[in-house]
Amino acid sequence: MKFLPAVFLATFPAISATAGAVDFDIGVGYTHFGHQPNGVWYQEGFPYKLTLDTPSISLGVNGKIDDDWGWRAGYINLGRAEVHSQVQALDSVYDAASPTHCSGPCWPLTQVHGVGDVQGLYATVNPRFQYWGINWVGEAGLFMYRPTWTVDYPIWYTNPDGPPDTGRFERRVTWQPGVTLGIGFRFKDSFTLMLSRYTCDARMGSAGDTTRYPAIYHGGASVLSLRYDF
């Protein structure tokens, strides 16, 4: 998919040529990532901490198509998500319903430290309308994103009786196609408060397998941001 970002960026001049005047914008916000269920990088009943709330930043350009429609395109960094956990290294040993959380004798706990981020390019159309005296703005469009995911095992038990090992797993995948949707309102001419939703699943399996080594973030990210046009 290496050609996709080039095709994506090639649409910007065409958009701006037909849309008239162009403004630049910068946005800062707060991202909340969805996450994987119990059993993926953490196991309920054993110690774990998920960090799914993070700052975000965006830079873009926007313009007016007509009185009711606008457009926007640019870059956003959604931030990073992390997991710190202690787990049974073998999934079949873990049993969430058991009082000990193990299907039999528990293994020594393996430590998991995982971190990943999501950044990408977006291009949206933006309907504009007034309701209750408020200048509302919507957005819907494409989101081409590049996810990363790295896991370190400072203490890794590959069997219950042997000494611990260490390990590291890292994936930096190619660009992925997604979507973004949002709603917000403009005030003081140059500011927009926006609540948006972005696709951000990490398709990191090998040979088409999308289930192996997924990132802790899953199911999309919600972003509350304040944007300023200049």
Let me know: does 185 contact 132? Beta carbons within 8 Å. Answer: no
Give the tens place of pLDDT for each residue, 178-194.
999 999 999 998 999 99
Let me know: does 76 contact 65? Beta carbons within 8 Å. Answer: no
Give the tens place of pLDDT for each residue, 132-153.
989 999 999 999 999 999 999 9
Query: What is each CA distance from 71 to 5, 17, 42, 63, 176, in whole angstroms?
Result: 18, 12, 41, 5, 22
φ/ψ of 4, rounded to 5, equals -65, -45
Give the tens place of pLDDT for each residue, 69-85.
999 999 999 999 999 99
Domain contains 50: yes
Up-side HSE of residue 28: CA atoms within 13 Å toward CB? 1
CATH number, domain with residue 53: 2.40.160
Residue the block writes with tokens 């999501």:
118
Q: Please, which residues bridge with residue 33 across strands?
A: 221
Domain contains 70: yes
Domain contains 101: no
- Please state the domain count of the chain: 1
Residue 205, domain extent: 3-8+34-84+110-149+169-229
Domain contains 16: no
CB-neighbour burial class of residue 196 (10 A; exposed 0-12, middle 13-18, buried 19+):
buried
**Residue 200 per-residue DSSP state:** -
Residues 228, 230: Cα–Cα separation, whole Å: 7
Which residues lie below 8 Å from residue 129, measured CB to CB, with a gap of 6+? 68, 136
pTM: 0.86
More confident call, 206 vs 93: 93
